[in-house]
Amino acid sequence: MCEPKEKTIFKLIHGSGKEETSKEAKIRISPEEAIKWGESFDKLLSHKDGLETFTRFLKTEFSEENIEFWIACEDFKKSKDPQQVIRKAKAIYEKFIQNDAPQEVNLDFHTKEIISKSITQPTLHSFDVAQSRVYQLMEQDSYMRFLKSDIYLDLTEGRSQRPTNLRRRSRSFTCTEFQDVKSDVAIWL
């Protein structure tokens, strides 16, 4: 349960290949600690268990790419070696920013363009604007839903955590694949 922070970040960024339901069951969080997470989004993210619990919540909403991007940016800003900066910037860009990225975050065209132009010579601030926008989205939207979720309310009331049914969303089809299919609404009535 006491993993190094780097290992936790690696798992969140790269995934472990399987869902960690046994780990979820082992997390013991006091109601008092969980209540502190409701005071601010920063308090939630600064607590290891809070970050893990929020990530688990985002997985139920199929929006975990947001927190994974934010974590990747936090890790990126700690890079020291110029080669590491280039390597990590490229990995973040390919995973979260470029069009059709496997975990593409919702960013406006202008922000994506600035990043794509600067990716050949990245700085530690290359993703600051994008990270800020994703942070605001999570704070104003996902965090508010998290505070009303069973995951959070169970913790604040001291109830044992229920296993979450995590399903991966699939990008294996698009609406254009079904454009010639005629819909017959009558069959549903």
With respect to residue 185, please indicate whether it lies within any of the assigned structural domains: no
61 — pLDDT class (breaks 50, 70, 90): very high
Whole-number Å distance between alpha carbons of 159 and 40: 22
Whole-number Å distance between alpha carbons of 85 and 171: 29
Q: What is the pTM of this model?
A: 0.72
159 — pLDDT class (breaks 50, 70, 90): confident
Q: What angle do CA 129, 132, 85 make, to 5 degrees?
A: 60
With respect to residue 181, please indicate whether it lies within any of the assigned structural domains: no
Name which residue leads in pLDDT, 189 or 128. 128
Q: Which conformational region is residue 7 in: left (phi greater than 0), alpha (psi within -120 to 50 degrees), or beta?
A: alpha
With respect to residue 187, please indicate whether it lies within any of the assigned structural domains: no
With respect to residue 76, please indicate whether it lies within any of the assigned structural domains: yes
| CATH code for the domain of 98 | 1.10.167.10
With respect to residue 169, please indicate whether it lies within any of the assigned structural domains: no
With respect to residue 183, please indicate whether it lies within any of the assigned structural domains: no
With respect to residue 182, please indicate whether it lies within any of the assigned structural domains: no
Is residue 79 within 8 Å of residue 90, measured between CB atoms? no
With respect to residue 162, please indicate whether it lies within any of the assigned structural domains: no
- Domain range for 116 is 5-156
Task: Encode burial over 131-165: b for 16+ CB neighbours within 10 A, e otherwise.
Answer: beebbebbeeebbeebeebebbebbbeeeebeeee
Secondary structure of the chain in the HEC alphabet?
CCCCHHHHHHHHHHCCCCCCHHHHHHCCCCHHHHHHHCCCHHHHHHCHHHHHHHHHHHHHCCCHHHHHHHHHHHHHCCCCCHHHHHHHHHHHHHHHHCCCCCCCCCCCHHHHHHHHHHCCCCCCCCCHHHHHHHHHHHHHHHHHHHHHCHHHHHHHCCCCCCCCCCCCCCCCCCHHHHCCCCCCHHHHC
53 — pLDDT class (breaks 50, 70, 90): very high
Residues in the chain: 189
Q: Say how many domains are in the chain.
A: 1
Question: How much of the chain, in percent, has pLDDT values that exceed 90?
Answer: 67
158 — pLDDT class (breaks 50, 70, 90): confident
